[in-house]
Structure 1
Amino acid sequence: MFSLSTTVQPQVTVPLSHLINALHSLKSSVGSSSSATVKRREQASEQDLESTEAAWCLRDLGLSDLGVQQLDELVAGALPHLSQQRAASTSILSPRAWSVSHCSTPSFFRNKHGFSGGKLGTNSPVFCRQFPSPLQNICTELQYWPVWLQSRGFKTLRKHKRLQESFERPMEPGGFTPSFMKGFLTRDKGLEVENLNKLLKNKNIPEGQQDSFKTGFAEGFLKSQALTQRTQDSLRRTRLVLLVLFLAGLYGLSKTPFLSGKGNLFVLSLKSMRFRTTSGLDSAVDPVQMKNVTFEHVKGAEEAKNELQEVVEFLRSPEKFTVLGGKLPKGILLVGPPGTGKTLLARAVAGEADVPFYYASGSEFDEMFVGVGASRIRNLFREAKANAPCVIFIDELDSVGGKRIESPMHPYSRQTINQLLAEMDGFKTNEGVIIIGATNFPEALDNALIRPGRFDMQVTVPKPDVKGRTEILNWYLKKIKVDPNVQAGIIARGTVGFSGADLENLVNQAALKAAVDGKDMVTLKELEFAKDKILMGPERRSVEIDQKNKEITAYHESGHAIVAYYTKDAMPINKATIMPRGPTLGHVSMLPDDDRWSETRAQLLAQMDVSMGGRVAEEIIFGNEFITTGASSDFDAATKIAKMMVTRFGMCEKLGVMTYTDQTKQSPETQAVIEQEIRKLLKDSYERARALLKSHAKEHKSLAIALLQYETLDAKEIKMILEGKSLETR
């Protein structure tokens, strides 16, 4: 069967059953011919380009042993009319063909082959003769050309129309390509039936052969349809397999440890989300039950707990306040530095009252889409009203309730806070919804938000005092294995300024250190190590420092310690070290004996003198040419104190008791006076430190040598060295 593959969907293939049968019979006869005949045929085909192309086409049909002349004889026998026509045409030029002179053509290719090279393309004939053979004539009459090559690309409407127009155009007579040997291209079914009947009549094909021709036509059509159906079935099966694999992959991912099971990060992150998306930009909020958090868990904030106790009573028994006509504040604002327990207090309120707790951070309301913040505010309050009585806690309130400003960069930034103000105004009296907000910067809040009727109750949560720190340390020390000899009060007196979060971190760091050292319990040594790590930074023992830099660091830190020890109003020394910690090569830690609620002028000047001690020591010991950059942070601290004394604390006689916080509103003369007074304070402090170090040069040298030997000294060891005692017991 002859077939032709094209980019157009094949609809009909025309087999020549009787021709193929004859070809196979002829092939068998050719196979019995002598080897000499085959050799001569091969030599002739190598010399003749036309015979080479014909042999290539016959090899595709499995008839490689069949010659071109034998094929022409067979076609002439099957189609006598065409055979006679060919014979007549060839007889015109056959006589005396050898004696005809030919003129040279413009190209070498045409001189050699008799035709121009441009004819060798997609429309070049298989049998490149000057006169077509009967087989060429029958294929030309069938009009099964041009052959369209397959190409990849996007299927567009414009391309489809252009393809259809070129397909429906009447074909111009021309050659045909070698690919016709793989099949015949057909187009419209109705036209092909007409053309087939005309062909049978015009070529005078016998009636017996016409039936065979039509039978082959039908067989080819059915085979092409079956091929198309098999292709579609294969595509369906492929899609089904891919879908099954995709679903199996999703199921496998859901069973992996990362995406499923207890402790799974993905599931836990979904469970920890307060806002669950419902549709579009809308979202809802899930409440949390705080049954395990009560006021017993809050340590070091007794005043704040007492203020919030009445809120708990209202949530437990609101009728107690309704009978007397009283009403509780709608909003409670918790103000204090970070780590003091504001969030823990809000959770304890909900836990004590046993009501739902709605938690939201101020940064969760606003996102990239306009209106998301206002929508989430509405959803939060709608859910809270539906589950009243309850507690709404908004952490970092200043990020959503900051002062409203006109900004072209953020024209919609006020929508969220406006919605928050509207929702708080919409509460009915004693509706059972308590709003608690927490912030570190109450001055940044909008005035409309903190007015009476909204956040009209403000509770301050300061850092704990010695008593509070002791309670917090006892609470966290109960959760670890600690030496019974450890006294929380001693640690509390040495952690002035620590918040509740800092103390929790201290106990945790001590437990980790004990575990690393392989100890069974936490001792005072691990707690001191954790305190130094928080105050001075982690040790960097891997840093290699040469001896010269070690000496400079030792004398620098000894200068700080000498000035602090011999200055009356300076803070007591906690520790001195030349071990690199954090970003520094050495450090002198000082802690007050008691909590300081305010500082005197003498104490501020003493802090400045201690800061100057390091640079003064370098200058005295190594000379002015060998001072280092290690005193930059000391100068920053001293300059900050002097500036605050002049501009904020009213401790300057020349400028008086007046604050100068906004430099843009100051005259150049005033700014010059301020700088002059600051410079004077710093210079006087430098001179005091110089005089003190020169008068205690012996103690200074002894302390530096001890630091070079031991690297770290505590307060008792420093005192022994300055008193002239040795540290043999260490």
Structure 2
Amino acid sequence: MKKTNTQNQKKTNPYYGLLWGFLLVLFLNGLIFPKFGRGRIIETDYGTFVGKVDSGKVKDVMIKSSHIYFTAKETDGKTITYQTGEINDPKLVDRLLSAKSPNKSGKISFNEIIPQENSPLLNFLLMWILPGIIFYLIWRQAARSIRSRMGDGGNFMSFGNGGAKIYADADIKTTFADVAGQDEAKDTLKEIVDFLHNPRKYVEIGASLPKGALLVGPPGTGKTLIARAVAGEAKVPFFAISGSEFVQMFVGMGAAKVRDLFKQANEKAPCIIFIDEIDAIGKRRDSGFSSNDEREQTLNQLLTEMDGFDGKRGVVILAATNRPETLDKALLRPGRFDRRIQMELPDLEGRKAILKVHLANVRHEEIDLDIVARATAGSSGAELANIVNEAALRAVRMGRKRVTTSDLEESVETVIAGAQKKNKVISADEKKIIAYHEIGHALVAAMQTNSAPVHKITIIPRTSGALGYTMQVDEGEQVLLSKENIFNRIVTLTGGRAAEETVMNTVTTGASNDIEQATKLARAMVTRYGMSNQYDMMALETVSNAYLGGDSSLTCSADTAAEIDREVLKLIKKAHQKAKEIITGNMTIMHEAAGFLIEKETITGDEFMQIVRKHTNAKKLQ
């Protein structure tokens, strides 16, 4: 068996083809240039040649192709070969016949070689046909080796011109047990798996399998993972390709890839085709001159292929995108992508389930999943996986063999704000300003209703640029936000600047991110949420690419836009004034908490609330 493998490696190794080609070139070079590899020949002038002939040093002479080659015996006894150009000398033969030579005969032996000319056909073969054949054989051998390596180097093989990866049913180990936090999406896809397992009960009643299902959601929510899980549960071949792989420079190449993909899928039915980032080819078509002919032809071919295959054969198309609003309407109509499956960011219970899945692969102690899940509100499945991995790395750095809850809490902060910059030098005055700034946020949050509790306060700089931060964690999952909730968040954001003004009598650049976030929330209250008395429920802004951060654009006149700015400013000023009043009325808490924070650099929400309760209870007793 080992001998067979070695022979196969020799056959597929591209260097063997290159070696044989090189040896052939050397052989041809020896035929065409026979003096290749001879000893060194010294070039000289014709006068030197005549002088050596007359002095009796020349032993033999060969005249060939307008060159004269001669050997001469020098005074030191060495015989050296010379070369010179042939000059039309009519006395040359007489001079050679009459000259003396160190040969035994005493005469110079000389001859003229008449070159043999090849036939024109032989010259054509040697100059054009043979080199072309050699380079073709080398290229073919190298291409064959590359193809064989692509086929044997992993768990997939390339096919045709489709560019997709075919995963055999035995290669896919992912199941629905590996997908957590997406229970609704799994319930919808289980019907497809059941159809692939038991198509008869559906065919008997006249039902056909949905041709396509579109997975929609933010990045990192597990769209690719759940598509692989469907194939893993169904135990069918899985074709995976990215939408960008259909986009080619030449018109018609993308359409050819689509045809090849569906041809192979029909041959391997039942199977699953997964097209990731389908918006690369499925964008809405327009009638403008800026349209992309290649992309539109590829999309048209995809629409045709989806209409052409029989849904009862068990070929299912799954596609994923972060921008469903940009897709062509023809792609989303019934009979093509029949189902739209939302892959939203996981809720509190979903985050706990995802953390359990990833912690199963990590050695850990008893973990308080509730604390970690509440601290990671808004995180995707990919981000949670990264948090678990960061916690494992931290445990190794700390010299432990198991992950603890503190490792996970620190990794949450690392992912959100970056790693700690413990060596950053901050002056005592700046450290004091930062401490009062963060306590200002925490105090305003603690003194308001409808505000998330303070979880942690720190003034240790982070690599993201934050010199400190106040971390708030909601006790439960919030689905709806009231006007009071949003306004109190704005008040909390202005608390840091209000503390600087009230306590330190200055303002710094540390509030730049607070200002940005407060302005964004206030503008959303006016333009999107209908929380302004002046505009009531009038929509003034639209949001596109909601799953990719959201790009907002105003849908109003310039005069209205100016009025919106004034309304936003009014809200922020009101919140800023409220924050100042809270801080002014609780200066004793500010001073004690800030001093404690300067000393410890990091305090928990419980430690901060003990200071708050001590002084608020004292006020009640008075």
TM range (shorter): 0.7 to 0.9
> Paired residue for 2:523?
643
> Paired residue for 1:562?
443
> Paired residue for 1:413?
295
| Residue 369 (structure 2) pairs with residue 488 (structure 1) | yes
Between structure 1 and structure 2, the one with the greater Rg is: 1
For the structure 1 residues 647 and 4, does the alpha-carbon distance in structure 2 shift closer, same or farther, using more than 3 Å as the test?
closer
| Residue 100 (structure 2) pairs with residue 219 (structure 1) | no
| Residue 220 (structure 2) pairs with residue 339 (structure 1) | yes
- Secondary structure, counterpart of 2:341 in structure 1: strand
**Structure 1 contact 4–185 (Cα < 8 Å) conserved:** no
- TM-score normalised according to structure 1 size: 0.64
Aligned partners of 1:619 and 1:448: how far apart in 2? 58
2:466 to 558, 561, 584: 584
**Structure 2 contact 391–410 (Cα < 8 Å) conserved:** yes
1:661 to 534, 538, 541: 541
- Secondary structure, counterpart of 1:311 in structure 2: helix
Aligned partners of 2:445 and 2:168: how far apart in 1? 52
Which AA in structure 1 matches 2:110? Answer: E
Instruction: State the shift of 1:530 in Å.
Output: 1.6
Aligned partners of 1:552 and 1:652: how far apart in 2? 35
**Structure 1 contact 284–383 (Cα < 8 Å) conserved:** no
Which AA in structure 2 matches 1:425? Answer: D
Q: Structure 1: which 5+ runs fail to align?
A: 25-59, 65-180, 226-242, 260-265, 726-730
> Paired residue for 2:240?
359
- Secondary structure, counterpart of 1:594 in structure 2: coil
> Paired residue for 1:464?
346
> Paired residue for 1:552?
433
1:652 to 532, 537, 559: 532
> Paired residue for 1:607?
489
Cα deviations across residues 104-138 of structure 1 (Å, max 9, x unaligned)? xxxxxxxxxxxxxxxxxxxxxxxxxxxxxxxxxxx
Instruction: State the shift of 1:287 in Å.
Output: 3.3
> Paired residue for 1:128?
none
Instruction: Give matches, 1:487-566, under 5 Å.
Output: 487-566=368-447
1:708 to 594, 598, 614: 598
Cα deviations across residues 234-260 of structure 1 (Å, max 9, x unaligned)? xxxxxxxxx9xxx9xx99xx9xxxx9x
Aligned partners of 1:22 and 1:611: how far apart in 2? 105
For the structure 1 residues 321 and 301, does the alpha-carbon distance in structure 2 shift closer, same or farther, using more than 3 Å as the test?
same
Instruction: State the shift of 1:699 in Å.
Output: 0.8
> Paired residue for 1:473?
355
Instruction: State the shift of 1:335 in Å.
Output: 1.5
Aligned partners of 2:239 and 2:424: how far apart in 1? 49
> Paired residue for 2:285?
404
**Structure 1 contact 334–437 (Cα < 8 Å) conserved:** yes
**Structure 1 contact 702–722 (Cα < 8 Å) conserved:** no
Instruction: Give matches, 1:151-162, under 5 Å.
Output: none
For the structure 1 residues 354 and 717, does the alpha-carbon distance in structure 2 shift closer, same or farther, using more than 3 Å as the test?
same
Instruction: State the shift of 1:352 in Å.
Output: 1.0
Which AA in structure 1 matches 2:346? Answer: P
> Paired residue for 1:91?
none
2:275 to 390, 394, 397: 394
Which AA in structure 2 matches 1:716? Answer: D
Cα deviations across residues 479-534 of structure 1 (Å, max 9, x unaligned)? 22211x33334433333323222222222221111111111322222122222222
> Paired residue for 1:169?
none
Whichever structure has more strand as a proportion of its residues is: 2
Instruction: State the shift of 1:440 in Å.
Output: 2.0
Q: Compute the RMSD of aligned alpha carbons.
A: 3.9
For the structure 1 residues 182 and 346, does the alpha-carbon distance in structure 2 shift closer, same or farther, using more than 3 Å as the test?
closer
For the structure 1 residues 4 and 325, does the alpha-carbon distance in structure 2 shift closer, same or farther, using more than 3 Å as the test?
closer
Which AA in structure 2 matches 1:615? Answer: R
| Residue 314 (structure 2) pairs with residue 432 (structure 1) | yes
**Structure 1 contact 535–589 (Cα < 8 Å) conserved:** no
Which AA in structure 2 matches 1:715? Answer: G
Instruction: State the shift of 1:410 in Å.
Output: 4.3
- Secondary structure, counterpart of 1:286 in structure 2: strand
Instruction: Give matches, 1:80-479, under 5 Å.
Output: 185-186=85-86, 219=110, 221=112, 271=154, 275=158, 283=163, 285-289=165-169, 290-405=171-286, 406=288, 408=290, 410-479=292-361
Aligned partners of 1:628 and 1:268: how far apart in 2? 61
| Residue 572 (structure 2) pairs with residue 682 (structure 1) | yes
Aligned partners of 1:295 and 1:446: how far apart in 2? 30
Cα deviations across residues 371-394 of structure 1 (Å, max 9, x unaligned)? 443332222222211111100111
- Secondary structure, counterpart of 1:413 in structure 2: helix
Aligned partners of 1:534 and 1:16: how far apart in 2? 89
**Structure 2 contact 523–568 (Cα < 8 Å) conserved:** yes
**Structure 2 contact 283–328 (Cα < 8 Å) conserved:** yes
For the structure 1 residues 554 and 282, does the alpha-carbon distance in structure 2 shift closer, same or farther, using more than 3 Å as the test?
closer
When structure 1 is superposed on structure 2, of 382-391 and 416-425 the one drifting more is 416-425
Aligned partners of 1:215 and 1:409: how far apart in 2? 91
Instruction: State the shift of 1:606 in Å.
Output: 0.5
Instruction: State the shift of 1:196 in Å.
Output: 7.0
Which AA in structure 2 matches 1:656? Answer: D
Instruction: State the shift of 1:551 in Å.
Output: 0.8
**Structure 1 contact 15–220 (Cα < 8 Å) conserved:** no
**Structure 2 contact 163–245 (Cα < 8 Å) conserved:** no
Aligned partners of 1:496 and 1:528: how far apart in 2? 13
Instruction: Give matches, 1:22-101, under 5 Å.
Output: 62=74
**Structure 2 contact 254–294 (Cα < 8 Å) conserved:** no
Instruction: State the shift of 1:63 in Å.
Output: 6.7
Cα deviations across residues 559-590 of structure 1 (Å, max 9, x unaligned)? 11111110111121121111101211011111
- Secondary structure, counterpart of 1:448 in structure 2: helix
> Paired residue for 1:633?
513
1:721 to 606, 611, 615: 611
| Residue 481 (structure 2) pairs with residue 596 (structure 1) | no
For the structure 1 residues 637 and 6, does the alpha-carbon distance in structure 2 shift closer, same or farther, using more than 3 Å as the test?
same
Q: Structure 2: which 5+ runs fail to align?
A: 1-40, 60-71, 117-133, 543-552, 616-622
Aligned partners of 1:442 and 1:22: how far apart in 2? 94
**Structure 2 contact 281–298 (Cα < 8 Å) conserved:** yes
> Paired residue for 2:38?
none
- Secondary structure, counterpart of 2:269 in structure 1: coil
Cα deviations across residues 288-315 of structure 1 (Å, max 9, x unaligned)? 4354221222222222111111101111
- TM-score normalised according to structure 2 size: 0.74
Which AA in structure 1 matches 2:309? Answer: F
Instruction: State the shift of 1:416 in Å.
Output: 2.4
Aligned partners of 2:445 and 2:207: how far apart in 1? 57
**Structure 1 contact 15–217 (Cα < 8 Å) conserved:** no
Q: How much identity, in percent, do the aligned residues show?
A: 37
For the structure 1 residues 576 and 383, does the alpha-carbon distance in structure 2 shift closer, same or farther, using more than 3 Å as the test?
same
For the structure 1 residues 320 and 714, does the alpha-carbon distance in structure 2 shift closer, same or farther, using more than 3 Å as the test?
same
- Secondary structure, counterpart of 2:311 in structure 1: coil
**Structure 1 contact 472–500 (Cα < 8 Å) conserved:** yes
**Structure 2 contact 231–272 (Cα < 8 Å) conserved:** yes
**Structure 2 contact 162–258 (Cα < 8 Å) conserved:** no
Aligned partners of 1:381 and 1:632: how far apart in 2? 53
